[in-house]
Chains A and B, each alone.
Chain A
Amino acid sequence: MNDNEKYIEEFVKDIPFDAPDQKHRDELKKQLISAFPKHRLEPTVHTVEVWRIIMKSKITKFAAAAAIIIVALIAFHFVGNPLGATVTFADVIEPILNARTVVLDLVVGSEETGLVVHDIIVGSKIRRTIPNMGIAIIDLDNARMLRLDPPEKSAVYINIQGPFQRWTKSYLGIVRDIVTDMENHPEWPVQELGQRWIDNQRAIGFFLSGPKIKLTIWADAETAAPIRIELQMGRSQTIIKNIEFDVPVDESLVSMDIPDGYTLHEKELDYTDFDEQDFIVVLQFWAEHVLGGNFPDNVSAEDILKVAPVLRQKIDQLNISDEEKMQIGMAMGRGSMFFRRLVGSGADWHYVGKGVEFGDANTAVFLYRPKDSDTYRVIYGDLSVKDSALKDLPK
């Protein structure tokens, strides 16, 4: 504490102030209670062990194949709920499970800083628009993607069989899988979160969690239509908002045909296989060409999505052939897939490259333990890779 602070502390010591007036306190209390929002006079939190009931039910044996039966079971449970919420979890997930067309915005990462992706979903096809990255039309049934680059008027088909196919599915599909999969997890309770205002709509919330998954669905308290879905998978956070279900959609938007005026790249790209070396290409290019020789402060799925347009721009600026540019771009795409698989697998991984210079052979930037491995893979600043036991990991 400096002299000024001591002076003021001494000055204000013992100065008297009016005490609260009991009458005002009581009068204000009455005013507040009489003005208490009526719509909030509902139970806020109660845990519903829906799945335990499902598992005990004889109907369970018929339920495995059809999500709609899950809906019916949940509805059955909630109808009998003496607390009497008007919007049930079953109502809320019904459009998620059954809508054929959905239009939504997807925020990858936090609401303030995350990347916003726009999806138009029609059955098993998705038209995904990513800022500065063009448009991807994804045909999940046939494991194929058509990538469109509007400024260049170029198009390329990409083979997405394998893990990429699974990960490319709509996030709503992931939510659908979680909700459906809950049938097998009676230990995942559904919690009603009560009501709050979301995007100027009175919303009712439901929360469920499983290992490394937290799912919150906010739905319109009147219509039960989901208006906001928050999905936390491991360290990755995704928010789905501005959702419209079963809206009329021009199906040509999800056509896999090359649009008029576009030139098709003759070679189909292949994302079916990827490994650690691809991820190293991402780290190298990021450090060398984006950050002037330093590794990034952080690496997460959100960070990679955010830097992707910059990486692409830097590749375009290289004085190499288009074919070589394509190869680098492909390697980085596969590297992103490698990282995504690593994150999704629940493996133990750590990015420690903050402050490390590219070329530093003595300092680790990334380490992870592959599935079923007793040792860690450690990637150093010079991009060399060594195996290391837990006890020998760099500090």
Chain B
Amino acid sequence: MTISEVENTSLIKKACSDPGAFAQLYLMHYDNVFHYCMRRLFNRHSAEDVASTVFFKVMHNLGSFDGTVIDFRSWLLRIATNAVNDHLRDAKRRTDVIHRVVTNTRTQSVFVIGCNEKLLEKKALLKQALLSLKPKYQTVITLRFFENMKLTEIAACLGKNPSTVRSWLSRATAKLRKKLDVAVNSGGSKL
């Protein structure tokens, strides 16, 4: 481990009993957790709700974390993944999410900086296609293409074998591509 990693590992331990250290740890990771939730849920309010849930879970379970800072990101993303999947598991909520996506696809958020109409349309298509996949496929797509994690890192994060993750990723990318192709060719009306 580097000196910085050692210091951060020490911070994690300290954060178990020191609110100030926990606040520092929280600020170091808030953006990453929010981004992950945002890319999974495509909705700011849902992402903020789930990010809140994630950090409360982290606070209550930090004592059980006994790894290093290198493992901490995986641990954090595993908690975030479970929280996002819990959020999506409710069928009604999932329907609502997709409904909001469909009815709100071209609304530009005030928090999105410097983007054009074409990218917003692509984003709308991606939202619809991705949210129609099973949560586990959404998870591996997000971890692979937005978090830029390697197969082994995703496997460690999800507690699965790399071969399982490879299989999920293969199916997920094939399904997503098929859906995106259809959507692109139909202008987004067939998903």
Which residues of A approach B to under 8 Å, CB–CB? 2, 4-5, 7-9, 11-12, 14-21, 24-25, 28-29, 31-33, 35-37, 40-45, 194-197
B145 with A36: CB separation less than 8 A: no
B3: A residues at CB distance < 8 A: none
- Whose C-beta in chain A lies nearest to the C-beta of B122? A15
9 contacts between A and B (CB under 8 A): A4-B173, A7-B177, A12-B146, A20-B111, A21-B111, A24-B51, A32-B56, A33-B22, A197-B63
A35 with B173: CB separation less than 8 A: no
A20 with B34: CB separation less than 8 A: yes
Count chain B residues whose beta carbon lies closer than 8 angstroms to a beta carbon of A. 49
Separation in Å of the B104 CB from the closest CB of chain A? 13
Separation in Å of the B180 CB from the closest CB of chain A? 6
Q: B26-72: which residues lie under 8 A (CB-CB) from chain A? A: 26-27, 30-31, 34-35, 38-39, 44, 47-48, 51-52, 55-56, 59-60, 63-64
Separation in Å of the B150 CB from the closest CB of chain A? 12
Q: Which of A18, A37, A41 contacts B44 (CB 8 A)?
A: A18
- Whose C-beta in chain A lies nearest to the C-beta of B124? A15
Separation in Å of the A74 CB from the closest CB of chain B? 23
B63: A residues at CB distance < 8 A: 40, 194-197
Q: Which of A8, A24, A41 has the most CB of B within 10 A?
A: A8
| In the complex with contacts A20-B35, A28-B30, A194-B119 CB distance below 8 A | no
B22 with A8: CB separation less than 8 A: no
Interface flag for B185 (CB, 8 Å): no
A11 with B122: CB separation less than 8 A: yes
- Whose C-beta in chain A lies nearest to the C-beta of B142? A12
Interface flag for B87 (CB, 8 Å): no
Interface flag for B6 (CB, 8 Å): no
A197: B residues at CB distance < 8 A: 63-64
Q: Which 3 A-B pairs have the closest CB atoms?
A: A4-B173, A16-B115, A196-B63
Separation in Å of the B19 CB from the closest CB of chain A? 4
A194 with B17: CB separation less than 8 A: yes
Q: Which of A15, A33, A196 contacts B126 (CB 8 A)?
A: A15
Separation in Å of the B154 CB from the closest CB of chain A? 13
Docked CA distance A31–B49 (Å):
13
Docked CA distance A316–B105 (Å):
73
| In the complex with contacts A28-B30, A31-B52, A42-B173 CB distance below 8 A | no
B119 with A35: CB separation less than 8 A: no
Docked CA distance A11–B22 (Å):
37
B17 with A12: CB separation less than 8 A: no
A41 with B23: CB separation less than 8 A: no
A8 with B176: CB separation less than 8 A: yes
A41 with B35: CB separation less than 8 A: no
Separation in Å of the B91 CB from the closest CB of chain A? 25
| In the complex with contacts A40-B16, A42-B17, A44-B16, A16-B119 CB distance below 8 A | yes
B35 with A196: CB separation less than 8 A: no
A25: B residues at CB distance < 8 A: 27, 30-31, 34
B52 with A28: CB separation less than 8 A: yes
B34: A residues at CB distance < 8 A: 20, 25
B123 with A4: CB separation less than 8 A: no
B144: A residues at CB distance < 8 A: 5
Docked CA distance A31–B52 (Å):
9
Interface flag for B1 (CB, 8 Å): no
B19 with A41: CB separation less than 8 A: yes
Docked CA distance A15–B35 (Å):
13
Knowing that A4-B173, A20-B111 are A-B contacts, what are 11 other residue pairs whose CB atoms are under 8 Å apart, sorted by A's residue number?
A5-B173, A16-B114, A16-B120, A18-B44, A24-B51, A25-B30, A28-B26, A32-B23, A32-B26, A194-B63, A195-B17
